[in-house]
Chain A
Amino acid sequence: MRYSVFSILNQALRGNTGWKPVWREPEPRPAYDIIIVGGGGHGLATAYYLSNVYGITNVAVLEKGYLGSGNIGRNTTIIRSNYLLDGNEPFYEMSLKLWEGLEQDFNYNAMVSQRGVLNLYHSDGQRDAYARRGNAMILNGADAELIDQDRVRAMYPFLDFDNGRFPIQGGLLQRRGGSVRHDGVAWGYARGADSRGVDIIQHCEVQGFIMEGGTCVGVETSRGPIRANRVGVAAAGSSSRVMEQAGMRLPIESHVLQAFVSEGLKPIIPGVITYGAGHFYISQSDKGGLVFGGDIDGYNSYAQRGNLPILEHVCEGGMALMPAIGKARMVRSWGGIMDMSMDGSPIIDRTPIDGLYLNAGWCYGGFKATPASGYCFAHLLATGEPHDNAAAYRLDRFRSGAVIDEKGSGAQPNLH
């Protein structure tokens, strides 16, 4: 069923009794053209673009839990394309452009809200670095404005501009950035892929790869073996665990990243603000809760929950930026498992094993990349060649030396 004003009115007149589940629950077939391991945002987006752009519909998405049970349901929903390096910015700008047309494209309300992302700067050196980054963004077709303290003050008068240690001098504003309803993204992609015939198979854990003559020809699952010409893995924090079954070690450590939500408040923060003197960012959800977060905990973890020292650290950042936040009560926190790559940049590439492809290493920035990641991974799976905008995301770049050191930190906790 296509969603439209008429379908809503029609349903309203019939007491909303005609809505149907938006994807099937098929039994796995014995073989597919392409299997995607991982039914999160990136996996579902890959299936969507494979079926809708590249015309390959004999595809299965295998998910260990339920759809959206991983990081697509555990993030802080921010989208932006404010990167500096050539290997990154075209890719993230492609993603932002896909976000802009996403709801019309897949006919689903993902609540894409371009409310603006503001990165604050606190020193002359930081201003110059942001000016350079803004220029790089504009050169790649994105939008960026360097604004001074007066203009930041007009937008957010309650920030601590005259902080003794880190006074706010201004910020780099990307107006096209914003936030998205994260679950809606997973559901919209799932519905769009399913309607083209993609089988989305939940509660189906991949337990091994079927190898024939050194080529990957399918997967062993908790619901039996399934064969495929190509297998793409998009398992985020579990990438190492999945690829270990193919005998591969990855340049990835899994770390826990926490996020926090306050009680619902009246509208106070219209956009997204990031603190430039510490790792802290904040926005306000449509329900009114302040959504904020900061750094990874700094040790390997698969626990989906963190510890208190980082909570204190994040709240200190919040208090330094916006003292009024101290009046709000925090009601919820959660943790997601980040696939931290060694240079802090992702991997969308073939592996040394024929027929096996990898999409991983998104660190704590995977959500905003969802559409472009899916698009580029679909391109790789369909054509065997990397998409131009993801050509730098090689698996062997640590051997070749062509690393993408956007932030230069990677998994090393003491560099954060």
Chain B
Amino acid sequence: MLINHPLLGPRDAAEFTCFGDASLLLRPDPGPNGEPDQAAMDAFHDYLHLRDNPAGTHQELWYHEQGDRSWLVVTRDTINHSIIKVELARNVKARNLKTREGAG
């Protein structure tokens, strides 16, 4: 697989380590006043252990360990391994936070 790095251009996937579902970027809040209640515990359990694990389009974290050490969000098809979109993880996270604040 070739990953089209937004800064470096196409790079061999072997330079990267995949860290799984990109929803890991959105760690849930610990709960009111930093004291986790049951809802917060449930949210953290789901965040840490449960996965959508889709057959098809999947957003995932790839860390450029053997390169510039950037974190990327790669949108990839798990059925045929084709790569649809590559973004810097920090941009995705900023966008996610904005959406979450907007929703909250």
Contact = CB atoms under 8 A, between A and B. Distances in A.
Contacts of B18: 298-300, 413
Interface string A300-343: 11110001010000000000000000000000000000000010
Given A252-B53, A300-B58, A413 B81 contact: no
Contacts of B95: none
A250 interface: yes
Given A299-B60, A303-B80, A398 B14 contact: no
B81 A254 contact: no
Nearest to B17: A414
B7 interface: no
Interface string B7-20: 00000111001111
A298 B62 CA distance: 11
B103 interface: no
A322 B42 CA distance: 49
A398 B49 contact: yes
A240 B81 contact: no
A249 to B, nearest CB: 4
Interface string A253-278: 11000000000000000000000000
A221 to B, nearest CB: 18
Given A302-B79, A303-B78, A413 B19 contact: yes
A309 B14 contact: yes
B55 interface: yes
Q: Label chain B's interface by main secondary structure.
A: mixed
A254 B21 CA distance: 11
Q: Label chain A's interface by main secondary structure.
A: mixed
B13 A309 contact: yes
Nearest to A249: B50
B26 interface: no
B35 interface: no
A363 to B, nearest CB: 14
Contacts of B78: 254, 300-303
A252 B20 CA distance: 11
A9 B18 CA distance: 57
A411 interface: yes
A162 to B, nearest CB: 30
B55 A241 contact: yes
Interface in A376-390: none
Contact of B53 (A240, A298, A399): A240
Nearest to A398: B49
Interface string B31-69: 000000000000001101111111100101000000000
A65 interface: no
Interface residues of A, number: 25
A140 interface: no
Interface string A233-258: 00000101100100001111110000
A351 interface: no
Contact of B19 (A244, A307, A309, A414): A414
B48 A252 contact: no
A52 interface: no
Contacts of A302: 55, 78-79
Interface string A398-416: 1100000000000111100
A408 to B, nearest CB: 15
B20 A300 contact: yes
A250 B19 CA distance: 18
Contacts of A254: 53, 55, 78
A253 to B, nearest CB: 5
A346 to B, nearest CB: 15
Q: Which of B1, B12, B18, B19 has the most CB of A within 10 A?
A: B18
A254 B13 CA distance: 18
Contacts of B12: 309
B20 A307 contact: no
Contacts of B45: 398-399
Nearest to B62: A299
A358 to B, nearest CB: 14
B81 A307 contact: yes
B8 to A, nearest CB: 18
Nearest to A297: B18
A107 B81 CA distance: 42
Given A300-B53, A302-B79, 10 more contacts: A240-B51, A240-B52, A249-B46, A250-B51, A254-B55, A300-B18, A300-B21, A307-B81, A309-B14, A414-B19
Interface of B: 1, 12-14, 17-21, 45-46, 48-55, 58, 60, 76, 78-81
15 contacts: A241-B53, A244-B52, A249-B52, A253-B21, A253-B51, A298-B17, A299-B60, A299-B76, A300-B20, A307-B81, A309-B13, A398-B49, A399-B45, A413-B17, A413-B20
